[in-house]
Amino acid sequence: MSLNYYEEFRAIQTLFRSMQSQKECGHYNMILEYANEGTLREYLKTTNFTRLQWVDKLRIAKEIALGLLFLHNKGIIHRDLHSKNILIHQGQPKIADFGLSKQINEMSTSSSSSFHGMPEYIDPKCFIIPNYKRDKKSDVYSLGVILWEISSGRSPFQNFEPKIALCVHISKELEKVR
């Protein structure tokens, strides 16, 4: 699926921008665009979730989906999409934190660690298939969890224990050794 010119312009607006960066003492410092309403997770709590109209929830969901579609059309997989990596400025969602992002053609077994990111938003295949390579479908899974959060006002899998994921990984590795 491709975006027309207007949709592409709107999609670009949903990406968090770096205004300036500089290298100092071997570390990069970045000046980022300001997001006056914090993360999506905070926004859903502080704006009193019940006051948000469904039309607003749908608009937020659509704009996040457009931003993700834009990234995928440019050959980029986010790999760490969750409600704390979506920032809100004047009611407008912006996808942020591209630290784990990869070009689709960069994907390799060594760069696809199952345990990068927030476990609640990670494609479940990452916990089952050793060396699973995240792809567009993995981002779409994360988007689905975000959509659930937007519609319910609650963070996903509130009883999820990250230790469970570690146990699954260890048990898979033990099966290989036996």
Active site positions, annotated: 80
CA dist., res. 140 & res. 119, Å (int): 15
The burial class, CB within 10 Å (0-12 / 13-18 / 19+), for 116 is middle
What is the Cα–Cα distance from 161 to 8, expressed in whole angstroms?
Answer: 38
Residue 99: exposed, middle, or buried by beta-carbon count in 10 A (0-12, 13-18, 19+)? exposed
**The total number of residues written for the chain in this structure:** 178
Supply 65's token pair: 């989906």
CB atoms within 10 A of CB 86: 26
